[in-house]
Amino acid sequence: LKSILISVTDPAGYTTNNNSAVDPITVDFEVPGIVQAALDPSAASIGDVVQLQVVVDEPLDENDPVVLTVDPFLDFGTVQADPNGRTYRWSHLVAKEDDDTVSYEFSVSLTDKAGNTAEYDLTDEVSVGVLTMDSTAPVISRVVEPAPDSPLMNEAVFRFEIEVEEVDPADEPCKI
């Protein structure tokens, strides 16, 4: 507690002094910032749990600290805050109904205890990247076997050519 002297003078010239104890006052004009943000995994399949974590540089407002926006909309549920008041987590269980034809982008709005608000584009400004989902299982569309008169028919190992309708070019070729 700090001591503060309050002096009041009315229009007639009478003055009253009061020495009071008050709690220190902190003046905050700074918007809250992001220390770290992470999206894991950034490419997900049905059944995966995608987690987004944001760590901020100061404690946020207890009533409405952080608002997550996912574009296009994807339900990441209720935010889970750590007791330290600086780490916030969301999660989403990837389901078959999720749209796997788009890339999901993230932004947050942060409000500190003084009411200062800041908005951050997590995809570009903070570089968590975008979320892509794959809710389609690959389908074998054609199997080609060697012709009966092929020299391969006499070998102990048969070779097949398999076409798959959905292939990620970064993946290794399918082997049997």
Q: What is the pLDDT of residues 33-76, one digit of tens each?
A: 999 999 999 888 889 999 999 999 998 988 878 899 999 998 99
Q: List phi, psi (to 5°) of 32.
A: -70, 150
**Shortest CA distance to 133 belongs to which of 169, 172, 92, 85?**
92
Please tell me the pTM assigned to this model.
Answer: 0.65
How far is residue 130 from each of residues 38, 40, 50, 109, 154, measured CA to CA in Å? 11, 10, 12, 18, 51
CA–CA gap between residue 42 and residue 13 (Å, rounded)? 71
Residues facing 43 on adjacent strands: 132
Residue 116: its pLDDT value, please?
93
